[in-house]
Amino acid sequence: MHRKEVIKMRATLEIPDALIDDLLKVTGERTKTRAICLAIKDYIRRKRREKLLSLSGKIKFDLDWEEMEEIELKGMKEREKLRNSR
């Protein structure tokens, strides 16, 4: 079993007590560290979603799932033929 190495960084931050208290209440977390990590992860997720949504209508692609499936199956058959011919 592999364990993912987690690198942690200590930081000294000046965050208003009222903000931390609200964060602890909203998240339901018991520790400031867990609450802050949860808030940061949520913020990053929302920003990534916003960035993706901002691309709406800017990228054009025409996906025909049936055609893509045909191409994929054809490739699988060709790879199988190559394996069997060795």
Task: Give residue-wise pLDDT tens across range 20-36.
Answer: 999 999 999 999 999 99
Task: Give residue-wise pLDDT tens across range 64-76.
Answer: 888 889 999 999 9
Is the per-residue pLDDT at 37 higher than 80? yes
The Cα–Cα gap between 23 and 19 comes to 6
The pLDDT of residue 3: 74
The pLDDT of residue 60: 73
pLDDT band for 1, please (50, 70, 90 cuts): low
The dihedral sign for the CA sequence 21, 26, 32, 38: negative
Q: Report which of residues 63 and 53 the model is more confident about.
A: 53
